[in-house]
Amino acid sequence: MSIVLTADDRQAAARHARGLEVVLAATGSALAVLDCRVPAGTAGPPLHRHPESDETFLVTEGRLLVHLDATVTELGPGGVAFVSRGVAHTFATRPGQAARFITVHTPGGFEGFHTAAAAAEEQKGEPLGVPELIGLASKFDWQLAGPPLLPTGQLAGPAS
């Protein structure tokens, strides 16, 4: 199946309470494209796996720390990281350096997490806590694998 999406086909799922802006492009489950903007000095999500999808990161602006295969790599514009399904990974931004990056999940489905999280945070009137986010993410091809990556490039203590 071939797919063409224009900028008008994209859907915003801004999670401003957490400082995240995610623009989604759903393709009928063929793939999911997320355009992510993360403020400087932001710890990433807990170390996690996507058991049913591969994920590719492409940095378009700023710098992004990517923890993959027990190694932290700092990617600048044009940098790419491919994460095979089932491999534990996370990301963060250093203090003073925001990042914009595209992620592509193949096949799609994970984009539903950001839509669901944005709706839940709007309904609650505040950001969801880590246990709530983990519970919600687990419904969208996401498994907890460890603690988050800190802006220092070190993994935090155990995820809570």
Boundaries of domain holding 97: 18-148
Residue 133 lies in a domain: yes
Domain count, the chain: 1
Residue 157 maps to a domain: no
The Cα 43–Cα 95 span in angstroms is: 10
- On whether residue 138 sits in a domain, the answer given is yes
Q: How far apart are CA 89 and CA 66, in angstroms?
A: 7
How far is residue 139 from each of residues 2, 84, 98, measured CA to CA in Å? 27, 19, 29
Residue 12 lies in a domain: no
What's the predicted TM-score (pTM) here?
0.85
pLDDT of residue 131: 92
Residues 6+ apart with CB under 8 A from 129: none
Question: 77-87: buried (b, 16+ CB within 10 Å) or exposed (e) per residue?
Answer: eebebebeeeb
CATH number at residue 99: 2.60.120.10
In a domain, 92, yes or no: yes
Decide if 140 is inside a domain.
Answer: yes
Is 11 inside a domain boundary? no
Structural domain includes residue 3: no
Cα atoms found within 13 Å of the Cα of residue 137, Cβ hemisphere only: 18
pLDDT, tens digit (0-9, with 9 covering 90-100), for 86-140: 999 999 999 999 999 999 999 988 888 888 888 898 899 888 898 999 999 999 9
Residue 38 has pLDDT above 70, yes or no: yes
Q: Which residues are CB-neighbours of 70 under 8 A, at least 6 positions away?
A: none
**6, pLDDT greater than 90:** no
Q: What is the pLDDT of residue 160?
A: 46
